[in-house]
Structure 1
Amino acid sequence: MLLSELVDTSAAVAATRSRLAKVKALSALLRGATADVVLAVVSFLIGTPRQGRIGAGWRTVLDLSVPAADQAALTVAEVDAALGAVATTSGKGSAGRRVDLLTDLFSRATAAEQDFLRRLLTGELRQGALEGVMLDAIASAADVPGETVRRAFMLSGRLPETAVTALEGGAEALEAFRLEVGRPLRPMLASPAESLDEALAELGSCVVEHKLDGARIQVHRDGDEVHIYTRTLREITKTVPELVELVRGLPCTSVVLDGETLALTDEGRPRPFQETMSRFGAQDERELLLHPYFFDCLHLDGKDLLDEPLRDRLAALRTVAGEHVIPGALDPSPDEANAVVAASLGAGHEGVMVKSLSSVYAAGRRGRAWQKVKPVHTLDLVVLGVEWGSGRRRGWLSNLHLGARDPDGGPPVMVGKTFKGLTDELLTWQTKALQEIATEQNDWVVMVRPELVIEIELDGVQVSPRYPGGVALRFARVVRYRPDKDPAEATTIEEVRALLPTALKTGP
């Protein structure tokens, strides 16, 4: 397959807001891809080279100045091989050799192909092939049910490999995917609830648990072998030895647990979220211990529990996690549920989770079976740009441009700005970090690659013609950056619009 075919499809997908049109274009491309390049095709279309980080920085790629080829002759397989060679180059002089390899690759690419490769390698490829759209395209190309593809993806955690399996083996091969201890699966997600009373009424028989201000973890143990992953499926086992030791001591042979971890003060209250996250990347900060709180059991001693109701999964959890089960109440009365809320907030946590006891574990999905109840509205938005401050904030990047995720795969939709809630420490970090991912800047504003997620607290939203989504945030303020989340997990524009007063929920 020529790279030009992929580039043309990417451009067509980016040019339409129609989800059906995106799926049709991607499906047609996948049908025409030979088995040996499907991995690369899907990886390129979702904006991530199959090799991951190839060792060539953003500036290196942008500084390449190579005359473009006149005709399209470069194949997807050749690009994939070239990126593989760049990624495996190491040792003395490796930086220069990477530049030479990329220069050769770009010299064989047309202008349109060069543009595509630059955006692919710098994280700027926003052609609209997000996971949901690509999953539908894979199902269409392989002529298999969409739910079968989604379940296989949830269990494998790898979209390109799921595509290969679907196209080569169909539904039967996809159905062969099973939970594998040691291989992370995508976490089940929750939706916001309007209130505790509404969540209780909607879900009926439920459990109400503390919603911690911590970081999501997924724990796998098989004998003495332990693996610990973040919510984005990044392995952090080596940086959290205290958690590894604790999991090895649990009364079981094999287990997969879902939970949260956080650092606590001497008084047992949660430390700032950033302190917890700092442990995920620091192998030498052992004095800041992490404490785990588990709320689900997906596998125990050879038995997979994904499709068992939550009531049964919690029974298994209590037998294996003991004192490390997250605080909460099973089938509480309204008064008991409110007492759980009060206890959670009193301990310094965010609120509560309300979960249907009949629900199965829908990995990677955000449904209504799990609902989060918090005293204030918060959204996870994508940073699109930032303005230079004035007065006391002169010299700092201050006023953030915020975007909600387009569920149909388009670029984030701007919904407002804020400079409130930023401490001097965060302003200093933000000024450095955002300039490192800048795509363009002037004396007033710095536009950035849409890769950082930030949690925003707000009083609500209002109809506004000022922004393309038709809504604007009211009294928005920064809570924290969310390095544990990527833009694919950000709040959608539909979820933002859902905060409008009922009579105004029309949207453009």
Structure 2
Amino acid sequence: MSVPAFAELLERLLFTPGRNGKVALIRQWFATQPDPDRGIGLAALAGELNFRTAKPALLRELIATRTDPVLFAMSYDYVGDLAETIALLWPEDARSNAPPPGLAEVVRTLDGAGRGEVPAIIAAWLDALDSGARLALIKLVTGGLRVGASARLAKVALAEWAGQEVGEIEEVWHGVRPPYLPLFAWLEGKGPRPDPAGQPIFRPLMLAHPLEAKDFEALHAPDWRAEWKWDGIRVQLTAGPGGRRLWSRSGEDISGSFPEIIAAMDFHAVADGELLVVRDGEVAPFADLQQRLNRKTVTAKMLKEFPAAVRLYDLLFEGEDDLRPLPFDARRARLEAWHERARPPLTSLSPLIGFGSMQELAAIRDGARAAAIEGLMLKRGDSPYTPGRVKGPWWKWKRDPLTLDCVLMYAQRGHGKRSSFYSDFTFGVWRGDELVPVGKAYSGYTDEELVWLDKWIRDHTTARFGPVREVERHLVLEVAFDAAQRSTRHKSGYALRFPRIARIRRDKPAAEADRVEAVEAIVAGSLAG
């Protein structure tokens, strides 16, 4: 099947707002497309395609040979998306009579091409396609789909199409590679279930729902176990005779960024925990862990300055013994016994929190901010380890967010459905008579508020820096966030953790917005705790 068919799928995904509608479109793709194209489409949606010779910089160089650079700069500033800008500007008079490439042809050709051959190959394909198919091709080869379909959604669609549980798909996912021919053969009853043959594979994590007031009122204290919700990233440690892997909560292999954790995994088990930076037994701020995330090269200095460790929550496998069907209390006992026996370096057990009543637990949770902890996790003592987000057995009970009144400073267009709107906002607080940035947010507002914000930004622009607009320092935004931390990347010296727009304060003069001293006090309070 050709790239235009994939282009139609992407366009329909982009303009289909609901989750169920997107799942239906992807299911139809699996049902109607032949092998290997349907598997290549799946890999693209799941972010599993990587063409090392086809990068955005190469596409920029190509469009520079076909159009005026000033026109491109102005168009990119207006459109806000590189792939869409190139697809629209590529000269129509260059259209050739060559047939459009197939998905399998694109993958096969780019995998076998040398770096010097790739520009001419991609240019010839762009010449053979219309603007919609050009957009799909560019997004395919650069990995920037942004159509509101995540890897998880693609797996859900695959499971629904095949009549399987999504957990079954994820159990074998890391044992197959694009275009997933053994996977499709199994799902269609034409082949055996893919066997990872002892390889360290990812098992889907059990997730929790946010605890709301009505849920809290129904809880009976003796049924529940409580743990701290540490401010790191959830990980799974998988080790055995077939190898060792460290997985993120979405199943991304992050082993390369944390070689010391991999080196310490001299065991045969699958464990669930929280990846943190820990110094002298104390958990460091999340900003320290960010220094280690997504690093392709980890230096000796980085290992020393940002030492990683894992707080363990659960034990899924001990050797070949699958513990997931056991109740939490039994798994916890196995985890404690295993950890005492194996003593894996760079790990510790996340302690259980004792409490006699839910009111006592609420008081403990209220002290989480002073302890620089996100909140609590509540788990039923009789709960098995069930993949996915099943409501009821586990709850996450985060501390209430903090808020600051900040002044909008800069805005930038978003991506995908938001590429026509200024939807990414940089904001700051006062230091003397100067505004200094403390964060960037792109969520929290309604569609109606986004339309209003976009018009306000266009009407109050004072300067442009490429895709970024600087605006008059008049608009106050109430920003909610989970924590504040020191930052060398921000002129203020501070950054907000998980900021989102809580309210547009049209009623408040910018001069009355918060000052940097308020951020300093929040950071000082968390460090004192």
Per-residue Cα deviation, 1:259-293 (whole angstroms, up to 9, x for no partner) = 11322344x43222121232343232232322321
Change (3 A) 1:415 1:368: farther
- Hey, what does 1:326 align to over in structure 2? 350
8 A Cα contact 1:269 1:347, kept in partner: no
Give 1:204 deviation, angstroms. 6.4
Which structure has the bigger radius of gyration?
Answer: 2
- Hey, what does 1:427 align to over in structure 2? 490
The share of aligned pairs that are identical, in percent, is: 18
Per-residue Cα deviation, 1:196-219 (whole angstroms, up to 9, x for no partner) = 981770786221001112232221
- Give the match's secondary structure for 2:202: coil
Give RMSD over aligned pairs: 4.6
- Hey, what does 1:38 align to over in structure 2? 38
8 A Cα contact 1:35 1:164, kept in partner: yes
How do 1:488-507 and structure 2 match up within 5 A? none
- Hey, what does 1:127 align to over in structure 2? 147
Per-residue Cα deviation, 1:185-232 (whole angstroms, up to 9, x for no partner) = 343322221369817707862210011122322212215953323334
8 A Cα contact 2:326 2:384, kept in partner: yes
- Alpha-carbon distance in structure 2 between the residues aligned to 1:370 and 1:415: 39
- Give the match's secondary structure for 1:425: coil
- Hey, what does 2:468 align to over in structure 1? none
Give 1:334 deviation, angstroms. 3.5
- Hey, what does 1:269 align to over in structure 2? 282
- Hey, what does 1:75 align to over in structure 2? 102
- Alpha-carbon distance in structure 2 between the residues aligned to 1:429 and 1:120: 39
Give 1:326 deviation, angstroms. 0.5
How do 1:97-176 and structure 2 match up within 5 A? 97-131=117-151, 133-142=153-162, 144-145=163-164, 148-153=165-170, 156=173, 164=181, 167-170=184-187
1:57 pairs with one of 55, 59, 64: 55
Task: Report the AA paired with residue 381 of structure 2.
Answer: L
Task: Report the AA paired with residue 27 of structure 2.
Answer: S
- Hey, what does 1:28 align to over in structure 2? 28
Task: Report the AA paired with residue 111 of structure 1.
Answer: S
- Give the match's secondary structure for 1:31: helix
- Alpha-carbon distance in structure 2 between the residues aligned to 1:158 and 1:378: 43
Change (3 A) 1:111 1:271: same
- Hey, what does 2:424 align to over in structure 1? 385
Change (3 A) 1:74 1:358: same
- Alpha-carbon distance in structure 2 between the residues aligned to 1:222 and 1:415: 55
- Alpha-carbon distance in structure 2 between the residues aligned to 1:245 and 1:42: 33
- Give the match's secondary structure for 1:201: coil
How do 1:106-255 and structure 2 match up within 5 A? 106-131=126-151, 133-142=153-162, 144-145=163-164, 148-153=165-170, 156=173, 164=181, 167-170=184-187, 182-194=200-212, 198=216, 201=219, 205-223=223-241, 225-248=243-266, 253-255=267-269
Task: Report the AA paired with residue 54 of structure 2.
Answer: A
Give 1:313 deviation, angstroms. 1.6
- Hey, what does 1:260 align to over in structure 2? 274
8 A Cα contact 1:239 1:279, kept in partner: yes
Per-residue Cα deviation, 1:437-482 (whole angstroms, up to 9, x for no partner) = xxxxxxxxxxxxxxxx961378xx6799xxxxxxxxxx9x999xxx
2:374 pairs with one of 350, 370, 374: 350
Change (3 A) 1:29 1:287: closer
Task: Report the AA paired with residue 113 of structure 1.
Answer: A
8 A Cα contact 2:199 2:243, kept in partner: no
Pairs aligned (count): 421
8 A Cα contact 1:51 1:84, kept in partner: no
- Hey, what does 1:84 align to over in structure 2? 111
8 A Cα contact 2:95 2:127, kept in partner: yes
- Alpha-carbon distance in structure 2 between the residues aligned to 1:373 and 1:197: 11
Change (3 A) 1:235 1:135: closer
- Give the match's secondary structure for 1:362: coil
Q: TM-score scaled by structure 1?
A: 0.67
Change (3 A) 1:338 1:84: same
8 A Cα contact 1:209 1:329, kept in partner: yes
Unaligned stretches of 5+ residues in structure 2:
64-89, 404-413, 416-422, 454-476, 506-513, 520-529
- Hey, what does 1:314 align to over in structure 2? 332
8 A Cα contact 1:400 1:418, kept in partner: no
Per-residue Cα deviation, 1:59-101 (whole angstroms, up to 9, x for no partner) = 3224433534467532121122233235xx4xxxx3x443233
- Hey, what does 1:361 align to over in structure 2? 385
- Give the match's secondary structure for 1:291: strand
- Hey, what does 1:456 align to over in structure 2? 499
8 A Cα contact 1:157 1:186, kept in partner: no
Change (3 A) 1:72 1:126: farther
Task: Report the AA paired with residue 13 of structure 2.
Answer: V
Is 1:7 the counterpart of 2:7? The answer is yes
Shifted more, 257-266 versus 124-133: the winner is 124-133
- Alpha-carbon distance in structure 2 between the residues aligned to 1:174 and 1:355: 36
Per-residue Cα deviation, 1:123-179 (whole angstroms, up to 9, x for no partner) = 54233433454345434543x24xx24432255358986975564223767977789
Change (3 A) 1:18 1:329: closer
8 A Cα contact 2:425 2:441, kept in partner: yes
Task: Report the AA paired with residue 402 of structure 1.
Answer: Y
Give 1:347 deviation, angstroms. 4.1
- Hey, what does 1:403 align to over in structure 2? 443
Change (3 A) 1:286 1:29: closer
Q: TM-score scaled by structure 2?
A: 0.65
8 A Cα contact 1:181 1:255, kept in partner: no
1:375 pairs with one of 399, 418, 426: 399
- Give the match's secondary structure for 1:103: helix
- Alpha-carbon distance in structure 2 between the residues aligned to 1:206 and 1:36: 48
Change (3 A) 1:332 1:399: closer
- Alpha-carbon distance in structure 2 between the residues aligned to 1:97 and 1:83: 9
